[in-house]
Structure 1
Amino acid sequence: MKKLGTILGIAGTLAAVAFAAPTTAHAYDTITKQTNQNYTARFVNQAKNNDGIYKYGVYNTSASTATPDLNGKNWEHSFIKVTQEATTASGTWVKFSYYGKVIGWVKKSAIEPFTVKQNAAALINKYNYRGTAMLIKNYASNSVTASTGYAYYGGRKVNTSDTVYPTASLQKVITAAIIVQLVNEHKLTQYTRLSKFYPSVKTSADITIRQLMDHNSGLEETNEEIDPGKYLTEAQSIQYAIGQLNATGAGNHHYTNANYILLAGIIRQLTGKSLEDNVQTRIIDKLGLKHTYFYNTIPSSVTPAVSYKYVNGNNYQYYPLTTNLLSSLTGAGNMYMSPQDYYTVQKGLRNGKILSKSDYYYLSNNYKYSYDGGMWHIKSSHMKYSSGSLRNTGITTHMYLSEGNKTGVIFFSNQKGTGTSTADLTEKTLYNLVKYYM
């Protein structure tokens, strides 16, 4: 009986197992449609909706996607790039990346289309700058231009892609390019001494043309970018700069406008024409520039960008840029241009229209120093950049381009902002839009 009872006990257990209620498998959603996408957007309405973000796939299509990994409320207005869309019973979902990093999937209703142009403008405004940024991809075949604010606030004239801004120090490379043209015409060499043209300048017998181009002349200007108190002709501005010079010894690096004002004077002596005439025939006409002028040749039909600053929470606080100051900056910062025209100049420096590719390397001194021929060069990343500003004004300009001009940003601003420098805004913020979103 004991044996029979044992057997019955086993059987009873088996029966219990056999007739227990079966476990129900989780019913996951099926993707009914999936497509590749390539557009930019931003998160919206997340303070209210707080949509879940799923790192491992579309919501509820597997065990790892049953619960959200991130909360949408932390992504409000974040700028993203959508790479895929998928449809399930629960709706349409998008896969997105953020500055090149794939994040996951979110319901499409959590985002709205938002362009690179819109985001560039939002970033410029965020730091209280006003101006125009040209974002370049594939040699400008896929460029984006974003403008914010007013060129002339009093007349409510908005900044546009055609607005002309003071170039400040970004003009220097144009002066340097004409020097290289004159070298090609055998009118001087990079080793020609400054004393040939301006023997009264102390240590001029030791200073070469190349040292002027690279700011290695050892010269300093004592009252740099200070209004001279009167209007100066081009010839007078050169003599004015000479009168402000302090010589510390050839070979010493001092970034000063005087180096390029002297180069402008050399161009005048060698050609018998003003720098303005040389720029017109050698640069503007050769490239067909439509939005490039000297400060004293801007047509009445064109509204140049007026200088403003952001002060104590207020935009468009007028900070005058005087004609007197501009008249003293011959060859070093007295031109107005649009970002598009400036990019055309950069291309012209190596495509044969202004200089050849070999001329460009000569201009850049084969990147011997950090600053060569009117620009800074970053050897490790093959990038070039130039920053400009005019003292006691709201004018800031910045260029950040690959050496071959394939990618980069040119940003001209007529209101100086806060919270970040023009260089950081251009190189670290706007350039990342080119790198990850264009």
Structure 2
Amino acid sequence: MMKKMATILGLAGTVAAVAFTTPTIAHAYDTISNQSTQNYTARFVNQAKTNDGIYKYGIYNTSRSTATRDLNGSNWEHRFIKVTQQATTASGTWVKFSYYGKTIGWVKKSAIEPYSVKQNAIALIDKYHYRGTAMLIKNYASNSVTASTGYAYYGGRKLNTNETVYPTASLQKVITAAIIVQLVNEHKLTQYTRLSKFYPNIKTSADITIRQLLDHNSGLEQANEELDPGRFLTEAQSVQYAISQLNATGAGKHHYTNANYIILAGIIRQLTGKSLEENVQSRIINKLGLTHTYFYNTIPANLTPAVSYKYVDNKNYQYYPLTTNLLSSLTGAGNMYMSPADYYTVQKGLRNGKILNKSDYYYLSNHYKYAYDGGMWHIKSNHMKYSSGSLRDTGVTTHMYLSEGNKTGVLFFSNQKGTGTTTADLTEKTLYRLVQYYM
């Protein structure tokens, strides 16, 4: 009897326990509607005030994993992003975005504003106090973006534009090299022709080849390089001026010097009976239809070329003159002015048959035998080419960073030298990333 009573009491206890258990209620998640694919660039705004939540795993409150934020918008103010999707829920309109190629998550659309690649390129250039024009190239310029910032001539408040012509500095060297290859095709010399054939009085000239001049492996060094000579020099005089300052360290030794290309310009004069300027006009400018390419002494009076400035003591547009005397001494090595778009046309012309064909291009580049070949540096690991230009004691800096086939890359011509990073880093590590991830 006692055992039976205990059993009954046990069952009663169990029933009582069941009766007082709180039932489980399913969480009501938001439903997603109006989904669409997007493809535009933007930046975060007003996050100091709103601090919107960023959700890695989906739109807020649409699943268990999206109940709480993963990132704070306050840490993303003005970051440049790419929007890839949009959707609507009860809580508002949301966008999915990536940052330099990495998908981050979802945020309310009100947290961002459209912001173009051009706007961001200008912001990045200004951040480091450079002034100039950048050409960002994608798909052989069919989807290119040109961004200009600052003044070509601050005194006259003349803005830099995509038509501004800038001193090219060393970016000119490949043009001189291309004419040498044309003369090789015309059987007027070979890459193995000795320098002594043209300038026998140069020490070790019997041991120096045309190829070594093209690749800066002649062992020649020039004293007082890129210093104002104190007088104006004709083309012929500039060659003799460079030769008078040469020091020969031995053929085969690499030494980057303007003298190699000034001497090549002199060889072009000897072989053609025409000035380098005349050769460039007929062989390059006319062939390509260039409209914003000039030698320093042929710039039309109605055109404002970029003036040389530096950012100094927290001030923009501090004038650092680029003299006519200095430019006159750089025949073949750095006395031309061009727009970035014209320079890109030249790079294409080195392969498309208008200046050289593809076979000639590989000859020009010495089949990438050395790091520097034929007027440019070549990076074998990623099939990119680059060239940097600057002129001593001026604010002029130019940089090219292109794929060997010219499909993608950046040209940045600057007439104010900034701070905090080099022109090469700004071009290759910052602006080029916009091409990779946002264009």
Give the TM-score taking structure 2 as reference length: 0.99
Q: 1:347 is matched by which residue type in structure 2?
A: K
**Aligned AA (2:266):** G
Equivalent residue number for residue 52 of structure 2: 51
Residue identity in the other structure for 2:33: T
Cα distance in 2 for residues equivalent to 1:311 and 1:228: 26
User: How much does 1:136 deviate?
Assistant: 0.3
Q: Distance in 2 between matches of 1:6 and 1:272?
A: 122
SS at match of 2:23: coil
Q: In the alignment, what sits opposite 1:308?
A: 309
Query: Does residue 291 of the first structure (1) align with residue 318 of the second (2)?
Result: no
Residue number in structure 2 paired with 1:343: 344
Cross-structure match for 1:327: 328
Whole-angstrom CA distance in 1 between matches of 2:181 and 2:66: 63
Residues in 2 aligned to 1:418 and 1:24: alpha-carbon distance in whole angstroms:
61
The within-5 A match list for 1:386-397 is 386-397=387-398
Q: Which runs of 5+ in 1 are unaligned?
A: none
Inter-partner Cα distance in structure 2 for 1:408 and 1:398: 11
C-alpha distance in structure 2 between counterparts of 1:354 and 1:94, whole Å = 48
CA distance in 1, matches of 2:157, 2:20: 83
Deviation at 1:27, TM superposition (A): 1.2
- Quote the residue 2:178 is aligned against: 177
Distance 2:246 2:318 in 1: 33
Q: What is the distance in 2 between the residues matched to 1:413 and 1:14? A: 84
Partner of 2:98: 97
1:97-176 aligned at under 5 Å gives the runs 97-176=98-177
**Partners of 1:233 and 1:240 in 2: how far apart?**
10
**Equivalent residue number for residue 34 of structure 2:** 33
Deviation digits for residues 234-259 of structure 1, max 9, x if unmatched? Answer: 11101100001000000000000000
Which amino acid in 1 is paired with 2:423? Answer: T
Q: What SS does the aligned partner of 1:268 have?
A: helix
| Structure 2 partner of 1:67 | 68
Instruction: Provide the C-alpha distance between the structure 2 equivalents of 1:161 and 1:76, rounded to a whole number of angstroms.
Output: 30
Equivalent position amino acid for 1:66 in 2? A
Give the letter aligned to residue 83 of structure 1.
T
The letter of the residue matching 2:400 is M
Alignment partners' CA distance in 1, 2:264 and 2:204:
16
Looking at structure 1, the residues matched to 34 and 150 of structure 2 have their Cα atoms a distance apart, in angstroms, of 43
Partner of 1:419: 420
Helix, strand or coil: the match of 2:201?
coil
Counterpart check, 1:233 vs 2:231: no
Task: Say whether 1:265 aligns with 2:266.
Answer: yes
Deviation at 1:6, TM superposition (A): 2.8
Give the SS at the match of 1:347. Answer: helix
Taking structure 1 as the reference length, the TM-score comes to 0.99
Matches within 5 A, 1:272-283: 272-283=273-284
SS of the residue corresponding to residue 242 of structure 2 reads: helix
Instruction: Report deviation, 1:152.
Output: 0.2
Secondary structure of the structure 2 residue equivalent to 1:289: coil
TM-fit CA distance, 1:301: 1.1
CA distance in 2, matches of 1:33, 1:15: 49
Q: Return 5+ residue gaps in structure 2 as ranges.
A: none
* 1:216-248 deviations in Å (ceiling 9; x for gaps): 000000110000000101111011000010000
In 2, Cα distance between equivalents of 1:22 and 1:252: 86
Provide the secondary structure at the position in 1 that maps to 2:212.
helix
Structure 1 residue 57: Cα displacement:
0.5
Identity of matched residues, %: 86
Give the superposition deviation at 1:8. Answer: 3.9
Moved more, 402-411 or 17-26: 17-26
- Offset from partner CA, 1:73-105 (integer Å, 9 cap, x none): 000000001111111000011111111111111
Q: Distance in 1 between matches of 2:239 and 2:271?
A: 15
Instruction: Give the deviation of 1:22 after TM superposition.
Output: 2.2
Please give the root-mean-square deviation of Cα atoms over the aligned residues, in Å: 0.9
For these two proteins, the number of residue pairs brought into alignment is 438
Task: State which drifts further: 3-12 or 212-221.
Answer: 3-12
Alpha-carbon distance in 2 for matches of 1:12, 1:56 = 45
Matched, 1:83 2:49: no
Q: Give the structure 1 partner of residue 372 of structure 2.
A: 371
Deviation at 1:23, TM superposition (A): 2.9
Q: Hey, which bits of structure 1, 4+ residues long, moved more than 3 A?
A: 18-21
| Counterpart AA for 1:244 | Q
